[in-house]
């Protein structure tokens, strides 16, 4: 990772539109008072000097190329002293239009506040874009150039957007003010300027306003609340339908079971016949059947019969031949089932 040291860049960064900024909320009172002592009605303008993004600045002595500035690199401005740095009328002129009197970070943007002398106000008040002249350390990573940190700010060029096309679309002033002894007069961006800045910076609506703010809007609020109410109605209707479907499914299952039970006995008899059950086995299986069956389908009844035949065999094997009174043991080599339970056998005794 190669670091380029002290490469001088002339950079014009997109001005990040910060809503409802009041310069006097940020500039220390002692700074304003000192300016008032000199002029009485000092004229101040605030610019976003830098904010995160990928831009293609003019690089002195080198070919222009895209450079990425992240939040960390922008924050490095707060580590250098920019107070007192001059503002020029464009890059090619050294006509001084004022000086930086204060600077601060806000929403990942580095903002400068400049004071313009009385004789420069007619020209400076028309300048709505700014461009930094600074020395940056950069490094290359994966074929891209990244700004690491700013070493020094040597000046700021200001100009009218109608006269100069900045390297970074949408670089604009964010506020200007006369700091009068009494009432402060503030010039705020026009609606057209705000819309253009939002479009230039590709700012999505959700980044500007949240749901609560939209609800309070006299126009969008009605649409939002209408959609929300309709959504809640649909949710309620869906829940009702789902509940109805669940109930219907249960009723259907019970009905199918009832229908299956009504024909189960005749189908059981047929299955026992197909299984070649003995009369004794049939009698006992019927006793088991009267105790209840879980599955009344053909497959379920077939499995029921097979299971009960196995159960009857297991019971027979547990009672040795000849143990029951008057029950003679099997003769010859017949070692098959020697005993089956009596007809009065109760499955509950298992």
Cβ neighbours, 10 Å, residue 58: 15
Please, are residues 48 and 15 in contact by the beta-carbon 8 Å criterion?
yes
H helical segments located in the chain: 29-39, 71-75, 121-124, 191-200, 205-208, 211-216, 220-274, 279-290, 298-318
* pLDDT band for position 335 (cuts 50, 70, 90): very low
* pLDDT of 245 higher than 50: yes
* pLDDT band for position 37 (cuts 50, 70, 90): confident
25: Cβ–Cβ under 8 A, 6 or more apart, which residues? none
178 closest CA partner among 13, 23, 307: 23
* pLDDT band for position 152 (cuts 50, 70, 90): very high
The per-residue pLDDT for range 108-122, each reduced to its tens digit, is 888 999 999 999 999
Extents of the domains making up the chain:
3-221, 261-349
Task: Tell me the three state secondary structure of residue 26.
Answer: coil
In whole angstroms, how far apart are CA 206 and each of 16, 170, 180, 196?
Answer: 16, 20, 37, 17
Task: Tell me the three state secondary structure of residue 25.
Answer: helix
The per-residue pLDDT for range 61-111, each reduced to its tens digit, is 777 788 888 999 999 999 999 999 999 998 888 999 999 999 999 888 889
Give the global pTM.
0.47
pLDDT reported for residue 123 = 93
């Amino acid at each position: 990772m190669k670091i380029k040291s002290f490469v001088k860049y002339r950079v014009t960064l997109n001005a990040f539109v910060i809503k409802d900024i009041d310069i006097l909320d940020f500039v220390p009172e002692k700074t304003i008072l000192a300016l008032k002592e000199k002029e009485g009605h000092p004229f101040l303008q605030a610019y976003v000097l830098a904010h995160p993004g990928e831009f293609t600045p003019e690089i002195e002595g080198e070919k222009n190329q895209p450079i990425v500035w992240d939040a960390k690199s922008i924050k490095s401005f707060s580590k250098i002293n920019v107070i007192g740095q001059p503002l020029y009328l464009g890059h090619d002129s050294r006509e001084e239009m004022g000086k930086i009197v204060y600077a601060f970070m806000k929403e990942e943007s580095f903002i400068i506040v400049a004071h313009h002398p009385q004789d420069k106000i007619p020209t400076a008040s028309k300048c709505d874009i700014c461009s930094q002249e600074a020395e940056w350390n950069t490094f290359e990573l994966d074929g891209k150039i990244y700004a690491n940190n700013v070493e020094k700010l040597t000046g700021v060029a200001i100009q009218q957007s109608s006269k100069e096309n900045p390297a970074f679309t949408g670089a604009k002033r964010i506020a200007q003010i006369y700091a009068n002894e009494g009432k402060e007069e503030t010039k705020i961006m026009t609606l057209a300027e705000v819309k253009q800045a939002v479009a230039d910076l590709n700012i999505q609506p959700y980044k500007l306003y949240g749901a609560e703010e939209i609800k309070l809007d006299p126009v969008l609020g009605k649409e939002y609340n209408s959609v929300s109410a309709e959504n809640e109605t649909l949710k309620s209707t869906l829940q009702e339908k789902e509940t109805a479907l669940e109930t219907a499914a249960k009723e259907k299952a019970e009905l199918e079971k009832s229908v299956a039970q009504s024909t189960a006995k005749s189908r059981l008899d047929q299955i026992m016949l197909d299984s070649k059950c003995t009369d004794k086995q049939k009698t006992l299986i019927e006793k088991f059947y009267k105790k209840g069956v879980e599955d009344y389908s053909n497959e379920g009844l077939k499995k029921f019969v097979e299971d009960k035949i196995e159960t009857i065999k297991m019971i027979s094997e547990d009672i040795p031949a000849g143990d029951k009174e008057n029950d003679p043991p099997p003769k010859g080599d017949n070692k098959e089932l020697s005993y089956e339970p009596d007809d009065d056998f109760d499955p509950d005794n298992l």
